[in-house]
Structure 1
């Protein structure tokens, strides 16, 4: 008979990061649907279309990362960190272009990405993804 090998359980920090990333995917899909309706209503305005395409790409990449999470590969961990940092930076750049750099507009845009990046940078996450 085959021997049973127990796998190391996922640390709470990694589980929390995966949960927040899953929430981001869900909210991103809703946001893309509403923004897509806005593009249709505005007869395909180019700036709005570019924002919708960016959000759709980020949401698709986040969804792919969540689906690859159980593989425990280092590139999944660092890919999630990279996607979150780039998406937060892009959202902050959009706010800066609009000229509304206040705590009320900045905090919601960086809260979810920080809730993913910080747990993934902890030593237990590094050990779990390193196998």
Structure 2
């Protein structure tokens, strides 16, 4: 998994991929469960619109993971942009949600995308993705 034709992945690249893996897995589980509950209730189209954003983010995360070994510059920048967008979407949703009370758990959901983006912005990752 971490070995390619040109050798092993640098540590920041490996750590970022290791962060993307559970993020994609939990995203898939969440989208499936939320989609199932939306299909059962079928109360309005707003539920499906609310499901579209996490589904798109999860789909793009998996798509970037599949293309990770191509070592192309756009894959790195796309993954960084996706992580920044995910953090921004979470901040917007939490600012709109009236039930948000400043609990510490949302901070963990912001920390993972920020850490992945930071790892992909490191010089070792830049060299590896730049071929």
Query: What's the TM-score once normalised by structure 2's chain length?
Result: 0.88
Determine whether 1:51 maps to 2:61: no
| 8 Å Cα contact 1:95/1:105 also seen in 2 | no
| 8 Å Cα contact 1:95/1:101 also seen in 2 | no
Equivalence for 1:111:
111
Point out where structure 2 has 5 or more consecutive residues left out of the alignment: none
Larger Rg: 1
| CA deviations over 1:90-115 (Å, ceiling 9, x no partner) | 11100000142625253032022012
| CA deviations over 1:42-71 (Å, ceiling 9, x no partner) | 214323211211111111111010000000
Equivalence for 1:79:
78
- TM-superposed deviation, 1:14: 0.5
Equivalence for 1:98:
97
Query: What's the TM-score once normalised by structure 1's chain length?
Result: 0.88
Between 86-95 and 103-112, the greater mean CA deviation after superposition: 103-112
Query: How many residues were matched structurally?
Result: 126
With over 3 angstroms needed to count, the CA separation of the structure-2 counterparts of 1:44 and 1:73, relative to structure 1, is: farther
Point out where structure 1 has 5 or more consecutive residues left out of the alignment: 1-5
Any runs of at least 4 consecutive aligned residues in structure 1 with deviations exceeding 4 A, and if so which?
none
Q: How does 1:111-130 map to 2 (within 5 A)?
A: 111-130=111-130
Q: Structure 1 CA distance, aligned partners of 2:95 and 2:19?
A: 25
Q: Structure 1 CA distance, aligned partners of 2:103 and 2:92?
A: 14
| CA deviations over 1:26-52 (Å, ceiling 9, x no partner) | 110000011012212321432321121
**Aligned Cα root-mean-square deviation (Å):** 1.6
Q: Structure 1 CA distance, aligned partners of 2:16 and 2:125?
A: 10
| 8 Å Cα contact 1:92/1:109 also seen in 2 | no
